[in-house]
């Protein structure tokens, strides 16, 4: 037998062995979300904490959205974006928290393959949408502070307008929802290309929107510092300080988890920072960004007065 035939025979044998090993794999149909299972003594307090957070998040964001829709005085570009953010945060929180609460309350941490992929899809969609919405909102504040005379004209138009993974075990996701990095660790496919695409998408979506948002705030702060009176500076800064807090919390945790590889590998650290952008960001939006605004407070008083008058009837 020639050397060429020997090499070819050896290659065929290796391929046959690989096929046999692949055929012996048992593909999993469900995952187990470990979540905070390593803290059994905190399951009840955590379930109560996250339940309160979810109720406050939903109530605050739905109230903000209802006020923006029903009150004519809030039909302005800024509150148009606030209403959209409240709607997005409502859907965003509902993608993560109900499943996490079910795991904490019942102890059942299993989730089907299709359910896990669906949760991941909606999570990625919501995060991407929030990145762009926060960018547009920073641009809105930039125009309002840096170009106030042209703000109404420039913002009028805003108001009118497959990679396959296989999983064959283990099936325990070290997280409280179906996040991308913990799921990749369970795949028996070659994930190097998918990891590269994921990193490129993070740099293509998270980094540009963050940098553009940062540029907007550099321009805003520069303009505010040029205002001669202290009262004027404080008033101007108060219109964007809340948005700056949301941006810092949201992008800070996203960048640490998805754009710094070493941080994404630490399970407990990953969970802690994930709580910031999946749980706390939707919570703080209605509390410090919408409901403390003077116009929203006035609309809330009007709505309360109308409700009281209706009940007295």
SS (H, E, C) 255-302: HHHHCCHHHHCCHHHHHHHHHHHHHHHHHHHHHHHHCCCHHHHHHHHH
Q: Where are the domains of the chain?
A: 27-312
Residue 112 has pLDDT above 60, yes or no: yes
Residue 263 has pLDDT above 50, yes or no: no
- Tell me which of 155 and 263 has the higher pLDDT: 155
CATH superfamily of this structure's domain 27-312? Rhodopsin 7-helix transmembrane proteins (1.20.1070.10)
> How far apart, in Å, are the Cα atoms of 270 and each of 16, 94, 132?
40, 20, 23
**How large is the average pLDDT for residues 228-232?**
83
Which residues contact residue 81 at a Cβ distance below 8 angstroms, ignoring those fewer than 6 apart?
133, 136, 137, 140, 158
End-to-end CA distance of the chain: 101
Residue 122 has pLDDT above 80, yes or no: yes
SS3 call for 191: coil
**Which of 27-41, 88-102, 239-253, 297-311 has the highest mean predicted lDDT (pLDDT)?**
88-102
Give pLDDT, residue 132.
80
- Tell me which of 225 and 164 has the higher pLDDT: 225
**How large is the average pLDDT for residues 288-300?**
73
**How large is the average pLDDT for residues 303-311?**
78
**How large is the average pLDDT for residues 244-256?**
81
Asked which of 72-86, 110-124, 129-143, 177-191 is least confident by mean pLDDT, the reply is 177-191
Dist CA 141 CA 305 (whole Å): 31
Give pLDDT, residue 165.
66
- Tell me which of 101 and 308 has the higher pLDDT: 101
Give pLDDT, residue 289.
65
Residue 204 has pLDDT above 70, yes or no: yes
Give pLDDT, residue 160.
43
Asked if residues 93 and 156 have their Cβ atoms less than 8 Å apart, the reply is: no
Q: Which residue has 């994921």 as its token pair?
A: 198
- Mean pLDDT, the chain, integer: 76
What pLDDT band is residue 26 in, cutting at 50, 70 and 90? low
- pLDDT > 90: what percent of the chain? 0
- Tell me which of 63 and 144 has the higher pLDDT: 63
């Amino acid at each position: 037998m020639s050397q060429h035939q020997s090499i070819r025979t050896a290659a065929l044998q290796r391929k046959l062995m690989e096929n046999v090993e692949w055929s012996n794999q048992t593909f999993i149909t469900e995952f187990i979300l470990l979540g905070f299972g390593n803290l059994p003594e905190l399951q009840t307090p955590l379930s109560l904490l996250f339940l309160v957070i979810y109720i406050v998040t939903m109530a605050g964001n739905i109230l903000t959205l209802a006020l923006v829709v029903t009150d004519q005085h809030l039909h302005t570009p800024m509150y148009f974006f606030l209403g959209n953010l409240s709607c997005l945060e409502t859907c965003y929180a509902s993608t993560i928290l109900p499943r996490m609460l079910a795991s904490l309350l019942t102890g059942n941490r299993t989730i089907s393959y299709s359910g896990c992929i669906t949760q991941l899809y909606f999570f990625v969609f919501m995060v991407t949408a929030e990145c762009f919405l926060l960018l547009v909102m920073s641009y809105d504040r930039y125009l309002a502070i840096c170009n106030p005379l042209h703000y109404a004209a420039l913002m009028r138009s805003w108001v009118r307008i497959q990679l396959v993974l296989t999983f064959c075990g283990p099936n325990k996701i070290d997280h409280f929802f179906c996040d991308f990095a913990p799921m990749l660790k369970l795949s028996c496919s070659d994930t190097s290309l998918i990891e590269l695409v994921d990193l490129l998408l993070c740099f293509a979506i998270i980094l540009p929107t963050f940098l553009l948002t940062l540029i907007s705030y550099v321009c805003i702060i520069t303009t505010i510092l040029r205002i001669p009176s202290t009262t004027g500076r404080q008033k101007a800064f108060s219109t964007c300080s809340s948005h700056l807090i949301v941006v810092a919390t949201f992008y800070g945790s996203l960048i640490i988890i998805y754009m710094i590889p070493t941080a994404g590998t630490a399970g407990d650290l990953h969970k802690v920072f994930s709580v910031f952008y999946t749980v706390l960001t939707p919570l703080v939006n209605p509390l410090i960004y919408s409901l403390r605004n003077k116009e929203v407070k006035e609309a809330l008083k009007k709505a309360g007065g109308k409700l009281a008058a209706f009940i007295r009837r």
